[in-house]
Structure 1
Amino acid sequence: MASESISPLRWAGVWLTIGWTMVLLVIYLSLAGRPPQPLSFHYSDKLMHLSGYATLMAWFGMIHRRASSRWRYVALFIAIGVVLEFLQQWGGVRYFELTDMAANTVGVLLGWLWCRLPSGELLYRLEQRGRSRVWFNRGGGDV
């Protein structure tokens, strides 16, 4: 598999900062009183759970391209989704729902699957294209 012969991302720190900011946003929105509802149809909240967790897994899967690292993130994000549901129940502001846990888990698995496609190399390809551009190149000339 191509993703097993891995060269590091040049801007890994930037990508990780963006990723952990997204994790904090998911935690905040999961525990806040009433998060924004950009979609309003039956089960739209499940779609938001699924897409949020799929995005997290896909993002970290693009940064950490080894299979073992990706599986650790699968476990981490599923655990976060479960813990946040219990915290919602105990917080008294939001509701505990098993279907939210299921949507979170399905989202994580879809994000993991997405990383196994060529699209899972998006950040790597973006950096490879950018290395030949002046704004990406700190030292001038080709890298």
Structure 2
Amino acid sequence: MTLNLIKTTTWLWIFAIAYLSLSPGSEPPTHFTYFDKLLHLGSYGLLTLLALSGYAHLKKSKVAIGIVCYSIVIESLQLLAENRWFEIADIVANIIGVVLAVILLIKFTKSSKV
């Protein structure tokens, strides 16, 4: 994948997360679902891998912190969306996804700017 394509995909993924997270939900959650948390972990993990690949000149820690802040803002905005709920567990899953992505990238690349 070319650098421009990675950057474009990163921004499209950022907008996709916002759209999917803030679109009206169908019904309130009745119980804790692990599948939902896996979606959060995977979504933010993928976003982190894309962002770190497309913006490799930036420090990994700054990119990761920016994505965590974005996830908190999106989760907070769900308070304003129809049939959406703010959940700390979602933020935790997002953070785990970000951290795992950073660890994977550091492990599989020779240089790391942390």
Partner of 1:33: 24
TM-score (norm 1): 0.66
Letter in 1 for 2:46: T
Larger Rg: 1
Letter in 2 for 1:87: L
Deviation at 1:12, TM superposition (A): 1.6
Select which of 45, 48, 63 maps to 1:57.
48
Where in structure 2 are the equivalents of 1:7-86 lying within 5 Å?
11-34=2-25, 42-66=33-57, 68-86=58-76
Partner of 1:97: 87
Highest RCO, 1 vs 2 (Cα 8 Å, sep ≥ 6): 2
Query: Which contiguous aligned blocks of 4+ residues in structure 1 show a shift greater than 6 angstroms?
Result: none
C-alpha RMSD of matched pairs (Å): 2.2
Q: Structure 1: any 5+ residue segments left out of the alignment? A: 1-9, 36-40, 122-143
Over the matched positions of the two proteins, sequence identity in percent amounts to 27
Deviation per CA, 1:18-46, whole angstroms, max 9, x where unpaired?
A: 111011101111101138xxxxx931100
For 2:82 and 2:25, the matched residues in 1 are separated by: 12
Count of matched residue pairs: 105
Deviation at 1:96, TM superposition (A): 0.6
For 1:116 and 1:100, the matched residues in 2 are separated by: 24
For 1:22 and 1:92, the matched residues in 2 are separated by: 22
SS at match of 2:56: coil
